[in-house]
Structure 1
Amino acid sequence: MKNMSLKVTDLVGGYSNVPVLKDVSFDVQDGELVGLIGLNGAGKSTTINHIIGLLTPFSGKIEINGETLPENVEKYKQQIAYIPETPIVYKELTLKEHIEMTILAYNLDADKSWKRAHELLKMFRLDNKLDWFPDNFSKGMRQKVMIVCAFITDAKLFIIDEPFLGLDPLAVDDLLQLIEDRKQSGASVLMSTHVLDTAERFCDRFVLLHDGQVRIEGTLTELRQAFPAAGESLNDIYLSLAKDGDKK
């Protein structure tokens, strides 16, 4: 049995006093890419916001390698690298300063991190833009800044929200290769996406959320076995589940 990087147990949570998530439980094991799948409003972003600490659970528990947020904020958060769906960049900072800030925030070795950063900048064709302000970049280029900053860290858990929207095909390919490299070194990845054909090819397991609950968690083979009438592809299985869920 592999160790679990992320373990979510009986999570109830949401905004104000209204529970969006109802007893959500799943895990992401070391060296594994898990796809978080669901329609808009299913609870994907709410789940991610609880994991990264933007929301406080009403009840339940979230652990990253045995650490919880209430017990040790710093140890918990230093294990996470987060790439949001909408890139968050600072107006006043150059690309170089974004990287410097990441190195400081994660208490990284500067020389080693800059070596890694230069490789990533070259990969994403940003190496001639260190003195530019990412606030003026296109959405796709801002996404690449987020990817570079995330992958210079030594994070144990990468949380990536809708990474393929806005990225060109070459950048998608580069990102998937980076994810594979980190998986090989034992890191875990939780990825929320609507691009189900890509998820089907690259994810090890899936967590299907519907109406704030986990409908099913497992490999594609396990999903096919659980819903033999739904079809072969992840897209077919998800659409079938979503329609069934709406009827209930």
Structure 2
Amino acid sequence: MGIEVEHLVGGYSQVPVLKDVSFSVSDGEVVGLIGLNGAGKSTTINHIIGLLTPIRGHIQLGGVDLKTDPAAYKQQIAYIPELPVLYDELTLQETLTLTMMAYGLDVEKTWIRAHELLKTFRLDNKLNWFPANFSKGMRQKVMIVNAFMTNAKVFIIDEPFLGLDPVAVHDLLQLIEEARGRGAAVLMSTHVLANAEKYCDRFILLNQGEVKVSGTLDQLRAAFPDVGGSLDDIYLALANGERND
């Protein structure tokens, strides 16, 4: 069932940022949410995770609507924000334990998975550290571990590569592929277009709060026949208003 966004109109006031946005992300699919700063990517994500209430339109995750069953809706989501959010008074171990409890996970079994991820991201010897001790990249790695130790059905990932070293980027992309392989729906917003082009099944290109074009890379190329064939070329064409309708 994945993610279903239908005719979404919304924003941070009565003046909408998003204007009739519709798209879907199927189970076992990675979809890239692409657009300039201010295009509406973060606003779209904030509506999906329930931080903003739509003015109009509907959002469902796995066939569940946020309004009708908020607990079941949010239970499906693992979210990696652009800016890491950690509790200053909690150690890394306490942070992960809190997430396990919030998701109702088997703590003993989940710690097995958590330790694997901590070792992958070279955090396994930092369980007693507080957020003040972590660099920006390490904070981002904590958010990644926090998300991928869950059994979430939907991953919402917002600019995940900022601050990560190349090894961590590779490890994150492997986790995304693994999530897709086990049937999770992944929506990823990023400006790192080379990674998006390589790992995403489809793309949604937002511009000024509207979906300008969506589809596979081949479908995007068909929509922009007079530019180069890379996602970067298509992105620049969209930014420059050069789409050939």
The TM-score range, normalised by the shorter chain, is over 0.9
TM-score (norm 2): 0.98
1:149 aligned residue (140, 146, 156): 146
Bigger shift: 131-140 or 156-165? 131-140
Give me the whole-angstrom Cα distance separating, in 2, the residues matched to 1:120 and 1:244.
42
Question: How many residue pairs get matched?
Answer: 243
SS in 2 for 1:186: coil
- Give 1:197 shift: 1.1
Give me the whole-angstrom Cα distance separating, in 2, the residues matched to 1:203 and 1:115.
29
* Mapping of residues 52-91 of structure 1, within 5 Å: 52-91=49-88
SS in 1 for 2:119: helix
Give me the whole-angstrom Cα distance separating, in 2, the residues matched to 1:245 and 1:131.
53
Give me the whole-angstrom Cα distance separating, in 2, the residues matched to 1:77 and 1:109.
18
2:124 aligned residue (127, 147, 157): 127
Give me the whole-angstrom Cα distance separating, in 2, the residues matched to 1:202 and 1:7.
21
Matched letter for residue 118 of structure 2? L
- Give 1:198 shift: 1.1
Give me the whole-angstrom Cα distance separating, in 2, the residues matched to 1:78 and 1:172.
26
TM-score (norm 1): 0.96
* Mapping of residues 1-248 of structure 1, within 5 Å: 4-244=1-241
Structure 2 residue runs of 5 or longer lacking an equivalent are none
Cα pair 1:31 1:185 within 8 Å, conserved? yes
- Give 1:112 shift: 1.2
Matched letter for residue 97 of structure 1? E
- Give 1:188 shift: 1.0
SS in 2 for 1:48: helix
Deviations 1:23-59 (A, max 9, x none): 0000001111100000000000000000000000000
Matched letter for residue 85 of structure 1? E
SS in 1 for 2:11: strand
Give me the whole-angstrom Cα distance separating, in 2, the residues matched to 1:115 and 1:124.
15
Identity among equivalent pairs (%): 68
SS in 1 for 2:7: strand
Give me the whole-angstrom Cα distance separating, in 2, the residues matched to 1:212 and 1:19.
8
Give me the whole-angstrom Cα distance separating, in 2, the residues matched to 1:226 and 1:132.
50
Deviations 1:84-134 (A, max 9, x none): 000000000000000100000000011110000000000000000001112
- Give 1:9 shift: 0.2
- Give 1:18 shift: 1.1
Cα pair 1:134 1:145 within 8 Å, conserved? no
Cα pair 1:89 1:135 within 8 Å, conserved? no
SS in 1 for 2:101: helix
Deviations 1:188-233 (A, max 9, x none): 1100000111111111000000000000110001100121102110
Runs of 4+ in 1 over 2 A off after TM superposition: none
Cα pair 1:135 1:142 within 8 Å, conserved? no
Cα pair 1:89 1:134 within 8 Å, conserved? yes
SS in 1 for 2:144: helix
Give me the whole-angstrom Cα distance separating, in 1, the residues matched to 2:118 and 2:193.
28
Matched letter for residue 212 of structure 2? R
SS in 1 for 2:206: strand
Deviations 1:159-208 (A, max 9, x none): 00001110000000000001111111000110000011111111100000
